[in-house]
Chains A and B, each alone.
Chain A
């Protein structure tokens, strides 16, 4: 498909008008102390109440509802007392894309997207004999007879190949954890606020080599919610809206279980297609981005996205990390909240909150000056997705 044929129909149509989340720090401490403050529905409900308050709207205005993966849709609607005209069960990215399409199509006007996850207090395992997600992603469980399990291992073996192909080193990888922890130290909502150095990073144990402990996301309880509506309606609201200027998705699922898309091209073909979609739709390019929010279940996502979306050339991520930088101190800031590694592991949902707050200019010590556009990207389990947020 040539650039002129790519749809721009969703550009500037929808906006996030309100965000809310649970108190990740307090709940993390409570759960570590043996308590269980809420279940997944409870965390989602707290987040929704705060998102409604943030948007300055009443629950009665909601006529669309997206429930995150951990919470059954019907029960979430029941718990919240919402009977929507349109709904879906979806992760953060697919939920936002679907909600934007539903709003554009006139299926509904105000969508609440609600996510709650009690993964820490419920002792969810992302590896081993009961690995979460194995029913949906065969690669999570198929290689167990060889002891190969956990999403971390999928990224470890991918990183090893990336290091071989591009000369990327473990010290290069450590730049991500160090920069994101710096950002988290400036974020009052972040669970891990203590700054770390490259030496600290390299001194931590491997979990699955070449990934160190600090390359892994946190596992914590919590909830996040957003209120989406037409950009036009959002502009009349209480808050400065974060308008969606570009949104796109491309999957690479062929040979997913045998890891081919990870090991042979690092999902680059999918990212290239999504980059073309979203930058064309938004009418901007990588150089126009004020900061990036990248889904970081593992730090490896960051160099792969920098290359995949054209922030640097293929094989140049190490050079970009060394010479340009990804911290608020220099270069192109990535994951300004601390991300999944240091703020909270809300499976892409908290990244949208940070994008909205950066666009609004309400991030305090970690605010990116004159923040005009924020690129959110995720490449998880065969799906590359991106959003360009702006004013």
Chain B
């Protein structure tokens, strides 16, 4: 079984540092004017390797959701929800919806990031706006 763990690739650390400061930032390419996620070495649109870490607003819209009924991680007892969110900056992120859950269809509901502590790591989650 085992615990969940983050992927900490060569470009991930600055993002997780920003999350720890509760100021989630993503790579922004000035040439294509696009944000990207997950972090990567180059802009897939402009092929520019120049980027800045720009804080995101943390707002977006639920694209879809799925409820886990099986246990895959020691630290995630089922049932629990997962959501895919289209950030207002463009990229799609996966998260969990905390707090009240919508009745019926979740898709299209607006959400806002909230920061939660999980085993000593700050994780960005979402709540309904």
CB neighbours (8 Å) of A143 from chain B are 82, 94
Q: Do A147 and B72 contact each other (CB < 8 Å), given the known contacts A129-B5, A157-B84?
A: yes
CB neighbours (8 Å) of B82 from chain A are 143, 146-148, 153, 157
Q: DSSP class of B's interface residues: helix, strand, loop or mixed? A: loop
A128 to chain B, nearest CB (A): 4
Q: Do residues B69 and A208 form an inter-chain contact, with CB atoms below 8 A?
A: yes
Within 8 A of B (CB), among A74-127: 127
B4 at the interface (CB under 8 A from A): yes
A206 at the interface (CB under 8 A from B): yes
Q: How far is the CA of A147 from the CA of B96 in the complex (A)?
A: 8
Candidates A209, A254, A264; contact of B69 at CB < 8 Å:
A209
CB neighbours (8 Å) of B69 from chain A are 205-209
Number of interface residues of A (CB under 8 A): 36
Q: How far is the CA of A142 from the CA of B82 in the complex (A)?
A: 13
CB neighbours (8 Å) of A146 from chain B are 82, 94-96, 123, 125
Q: How far is the CA of A226 from the CA of B98 in the complex (A)?
A: 51
CB neighbours (8 Å) of A142 from chain B are 7, 38, 94
Q: Do residues A208 and B68 form an inter-chain contact, with CB atoms below 8 A?
A: yes
Contact bitstring B10-29, A, C-beta under 8 A = 1, else 0: 00000000000000000000
CB neighbours (8 Å) of A257 from chain B are 38
Q: Do A141 and B7 contact each other (CB < 8 Å), given the known contacts A147-B80, A206-B67, A208-B70?
A: yes
Q: How far is the CA of A315 from the CA of B68 in the complex (A)?
A: 26
Q: Do residues B68 and A153 form an inter-chain contact, with CB atoms below 8 A?
A: yes
Residues of A within 8 A of B (CB): 127-130, 138, 141-150, 153, 156-158, 160-161, 164, 205-210, 254-255, 257-260, 263-264
Q: List 18 A-B contacts (CB under 8 A).
A: A128-B2, A129-B5, A141-B7, A145-B6, A145-B123, A147-B4, A147-B82, A147-B96, A149-B72, A157-B65, A160-B65, A208-B66, A209-B68, A254-B44, A258-B37, A259-B84, A259-B94, A263-B64
